[in-house]
Homo-oligomer: A and B are copies of this chain.
Amino acid sequence: MPKIVDHNQRREELAQAAWRVIKQGGIEAATVRKVAEEAGMSLGSLRHYFETQSELIAFSMDLVSNRVTKRIRQTPLTGNIRTDCIMLAAQVLPLDEERRIEGEVWLAMTAKSLADPSLRILFLEVHDSLLRLFEQIVCRCWGQPYNRPLSPVAAAEARALHALIDGLAVHLLFELEGLSPETAMALVERQLDRIIGMGDQ
């Protein structure tokens, strides 16, 4: 046998090379040749880890959601509801370079998911679990147990929070009108305070 290689690690390396190519030239620049070159390996070598281009793209998209999920799971909770909710929401926004490239790739994948049924499935799964997260946040803000189906009001607040954060994420990527990470976070906190305020009544 030859040098034994961690297949999954190699696939992640290639996927991150794909990220960089996508960041540079958009999803249509993510050809197998360009990704292989960016990863510093030959075309045949890439094909040893991904049989088709679709596999590579799907894995690259999957890696984004895995990274975000992992970060959410590892977020240290303080017990302070407001602080914890803010910290969780922050994991989805492109606030630093690490989360920025994830966001750019995710946006590219989102557009591709519209016309690609198999990517669409993955996209919907991710957004469903994201909505669950926001539902939990709303329930926690109101000191309610998290039982689905939620009350109409809680469901509405979760959906609105979800949409607000998704919208802010895109606006941050484009630095719309000089929108800064701090301003974006302030808007999220503002909305969270409104939600918390509703629970007191």
Contacts and interface: CB of A to CB of B under 8 A. Distances in A.
Nearest to A168: B163
* Number of copies of this chain that the complex holds: 2
Contact of A114 (B26, B187, B191): B26
Contacts of A186: 156
Nearest to A179: B159
Interface in A103-142: 104, 107-108, 110-116, 120, 123-124, 127-128, 131
A174 B187 CA distance: 25
A56 B197 CA distance: 50
Interface residues of A, number: 47
Given A115-B26, A156-B186, A156-B190, A128 B177 contact: yes
A52 interface: no
A48 interface: no
A187 B163 contact: yes
A61 interface: no
A50 to B, nearest CB: 18
A160 B55 CA distance: 37
A187 to B, nearest CB: 5
A107 B114 CA distance: 9
B187 A160 contact: yes
Nearest to A113: B174
A41 interface: no
